[in-house]
Amino acid sequence: MQGKRFRALSATFALALTGALAVVATAAARMDSQAAPTAAKASLAPSCQRQEIGLMAPITGPNATIGVEQRAWARYAVQGFNTQQKRLNTKVQVILRDGDTQLDPARASTVGQRFASNSNILGIVGPAGSQEVIAVDPIFTRTNLAMISGSATRTTLTNGSVPTFFRTVPNDSVQGPTIGRYLKQRLNAKRVVAIDDQTAYGQPLADGVAANLRAA
């Protein structure tokens, strides 16, 4: 089950990175179309030739299994994007900047400050955890820096309270009932104890599962 979940998160994470890369490509195309005809044929504006995307993931620590895999997919996607841009002769190249959060809100805040102060960073892939998103929200809202996560599932993150946050994974309002149905319909569970780790991810998810089971 854990392996399947990691593969699912990898797929949604790759989609999140694709969205971030699309931001770079769109920015490059816009600058190219607005340039004078002769200049457009020569090259893109220097400021658009090398752009950066920040990666916020638990690369080390107890949750490194998730972060290392997310980083591998990020590097793979960036490499493919850069190769494609070379073939198209756009001269647009993306640099991936690692930000190791260890799935810790305090570390995420530090990484967020560093990324927000880098004017070359166009967007953020991540953070990996809902609690980290909450921690960096004031920073990225103030600097208008978009973040796209493939693993932060807290339902309230996309109710408008975190204006620069986007995700490519179903939220807890989908996960909770799905787990509840699995316990009831597939496992035929009669008595269930929901235990959470008091994090911004675990607590709402456990509450959702419990509510679904009580409503049965």
Rounded distance between C-alpha atoms, residue 152 and residue 172, angstroms: 9
What pLDDT, in 10s, does the model give residues 165-193?
999 998 988 988 899 999 999 999 999 99
Which residue would you say has higher pLDDT here, 17 or 108? 108
For residue 46, say if its preceding peptide bond is cis, omega within 30 degrees of 0. Answer: no
Fold of 2-169: Rossmann fold (3.40.50)
pLDDT of residue 108: 98
Q: Is a pLDDT exceeding 80 seen at residue 135?
A: yes
By DSSP bridging, strand 147-149 and strand 50-57 are: unpaired
Give 35-99 as a DSSP string.
Answer: S-HHHHHH---HHHHEEEEEEEE--SSTTHHHHHHHHHHHHHHHHHHHHHHHHTT---EEEEEEE
pLDDT of residue 146: 95
Q: Where does the pLDDT of residue 35 fall: very low under 50, low under 70, confident under 90, or very high at 90 and above?
A: very low
pLDDT of residue 45: 47
Q: Is a pLDDT exceeding 90 seen at residue 24?
A: no
Rounded distance between C-alpha atoms, residue 87 and residue 89, angstroms: 5
For the segment 46-58, the average pLDDT, to the nearest whole number, is 83
pLDDT of residue 49: 76
pLDDT of residue 203: 86
Q: What are the structural domain ranges in the chain?
A: 2-169, 174-214
CB 79 within 8 A of CB 57: no
Percentage of the chain beyond pLDDT 70 is: 77
pLDDT of residue 94: 93
Give me the residues paired with residue 98 across strands: 55
What pLDDT, in 10s, does the model give residues 114-131?
999 999 999 999 999 999
- Residue 42 has which token pair? 């020569």
Angle between helices 105-116 and 130-143 (to 10 degrees): 20
Q: Look up residue 183 and give its DSSP letter.
A: I
- Residue 41 has which token pair? 């044929």
Q: In angstroms, how far is the first alpha carbon of the chain from the final one?
A: 24
Rounded distance between C-alpha atoms, residue 145 and residue 55, angstroms: 13
Q: Where does the pLDDT of residue 104 fall: very low under 50, low under 70, confident under 90, or very high at 90 and above?
A: very high
Which residue would you say has higher pLDDT here, 47 or 117? 117
Q: Is a pLDDT exceeding 60 seen at residue 40?
A: no
pLDDT of residue 22: 56
User: How much is the mean pLDDT over the chain?
Assistant: 82
pLDDT of residue 75: 95
pLDDT of residue 134: 96
Q: Where does the pLDDT of residue 212 fall: very low under 50, low under 70, confident under 90, or very high at 90 and above?
A: confident
